[in-house]
């Protein structure tokens, strides 16, 4: 099959590699414009992991916006350190400043140390539950000096996250969905320029641009998200357009919930002062559980 624009061989979405890259970048800039995600006069923090999606996002945004990369080092030897090494070089080549914040520095323990502890083993928790809470907390905390925090979440991520949060009966998810989160005291607005692009479209872009890191998988990842991803992909095959329809329906529910005055996170944590729906936020609860002597949080 030939490219829709030129006579070269089509590789993705009916485009050759050159025109696919152009199409993809235009889609990203269109979402940014249509949903007023970012503006050239703003200071933008870009959450980066060293993986293909966030490298692609950083690369594209750096063409038009004032960006700084922010990465979180959870302390997962053989995984995050390898990705961070590649990321440092990537940011250097791009001329973008990279700031790295670690669990060890901020909470006194690496994720590896937490997971290896007896307390964790008896807790019934999964590493991802602790990791996700800590990472979101640190990104929000350190992006506060910026106007927005851009993340590389794509359509597949968002559908999976909604389904997983429904399974867990987590109503706070409504605050986080959408191409841009609403303005709320204590929270940096999160913008998701890949919001309407599928995982495989982002992967194709990253592949064509040479942004794929050396394959390595987090040793703590477990099946729930990949099971949900499989389920969602099967539904998309049976009902083409499922992912987009699903997320549009959720965005409507969010609008209705906002009209009803749905509120959450309307307190501040009495330990660290960050926004929280309970007197002590989830991060402080976990830190004090696994590292009771750690007082640094009180300084926030
Ligand atoms: Fe953290 Fe889980 Fe992701 Fe590993 S797979 S980096 S533990 S959230
Ligand atoms: Zn707290």
Name the band, by pLDDT with cuts 50, 70 and 90, for residue 251: confident
Measured in whole angstroms, the distance separating CA 186 from the mean position of its chain's CA atoms is 18
Strands 189-191 and 267-268: unpaired
Strands 66-73 and 189-191: unpaired
Centre of ligand 2 to C-alpha 231, Å, is: 35
Contact 272, 281 (CB under 8 A): yes
Atom number of ligand 1 nearest to Cα 127: 7
Residue nearest to atom 6 of ligand 1 (CA): 218
Centre of ligand 2 to C-alpha 137, Å, is: 9
- The closest ligand to the CA of 50 turns out to be 1
pTM score of the predicted model: 0.91
Give me the pLDDT at residue 293, please.
81
Average pLDDT of every residue of the chain: 90
Please enumerate in sequence order all residues whose Cβ is within 8 A of that of 278, keeping only pairs 6 or more positions apart, or say none: 267, 269
Query: Sheet containing 148-150: which strands, arranged edge to edge?
Result: 98-102, 66-73, 43-47, 148-150, 189-191
Of these ranges, 179-183, 231-235, 258-262, the one predicted with the greatest mean pLDDT is 231-235
- Predicted confidence (pLDDT) at residue 263 exceeds the cutoff of 60: no
Map residue 197 onto helix, strand or coil: coil
Strands 148-150 and 189-191: parallel
Residue nearest to atom 5 of ligand 1 (CA): 221
Give me the pLDDT at residue 113, please.
96
Tens of pLDDT, residues 191-242? 999 999 999 999 999 999 999 877 678 998 876 778 889 999 999 999 999 9
Tens of pLDDT, residues 138-173? 999 999 999 999 999 999 999 998 888 888 777 666
């Amino acid at each position: 099959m030939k490219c829709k624009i030129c006579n070269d061989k089509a590789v993705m979405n009916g485009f050759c590699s050159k025109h696919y890259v152009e199409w993809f970048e235009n889609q990203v800039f269109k979402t940014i414009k249509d949903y007023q995600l970012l503006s050239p006069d703003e200071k933008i923090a870009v959450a980066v992991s060293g993986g293909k999606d966030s490298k692609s996002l950083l690369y594209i945004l750096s063409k038009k916006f004032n960006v700084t990369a922010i990465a979180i080092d959870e302390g997962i030897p053989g995984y995050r350190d390898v990705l961070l090494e590649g990321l440092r070089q990537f940011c250097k080549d791009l001329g973008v400043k990279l700031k790295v914040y670690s669990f060890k520095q901020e909470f006194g323990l690496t994720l590896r140390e937490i997971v290896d502890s007896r307390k964790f083993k008896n807790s019934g928790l999964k590493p991802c539950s602790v990791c996700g809470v800590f990472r979101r907390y640190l990104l929000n905390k350190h992006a506060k000096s910026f106007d927005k925090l851009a993340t590389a979440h794509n359509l597949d991520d968002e559908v999976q996250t909604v389904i997983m949060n429904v399974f867990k009966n987590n109503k706070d998810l409504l605050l986080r969905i959408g191409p841009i989160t609403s303005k709320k005291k204590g929270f940096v607005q999160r913008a998701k320029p890949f919001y309407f692009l599928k995982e495989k479209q982002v992967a194709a872009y990253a592949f064509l641009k040479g942004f794929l890191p050396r394959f390595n998988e987090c040793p703590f990842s477990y099946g729930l998200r990949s099971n949900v991803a499989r389920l969602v992909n099967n539904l998309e095959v049976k009902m083409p357009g499922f992912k987009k329809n699903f997320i549009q329906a959720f965005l409507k529910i969010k609008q209705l919930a906002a009209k009803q005055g749905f509120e959450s996170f309307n307190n501040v944590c009495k330990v660290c002062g960050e926004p929280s729906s309970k007197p002590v936020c989830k991060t402080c609860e976990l830190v004090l559980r696994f590292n009771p002597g750690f007082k640094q949080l009180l300084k926030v």
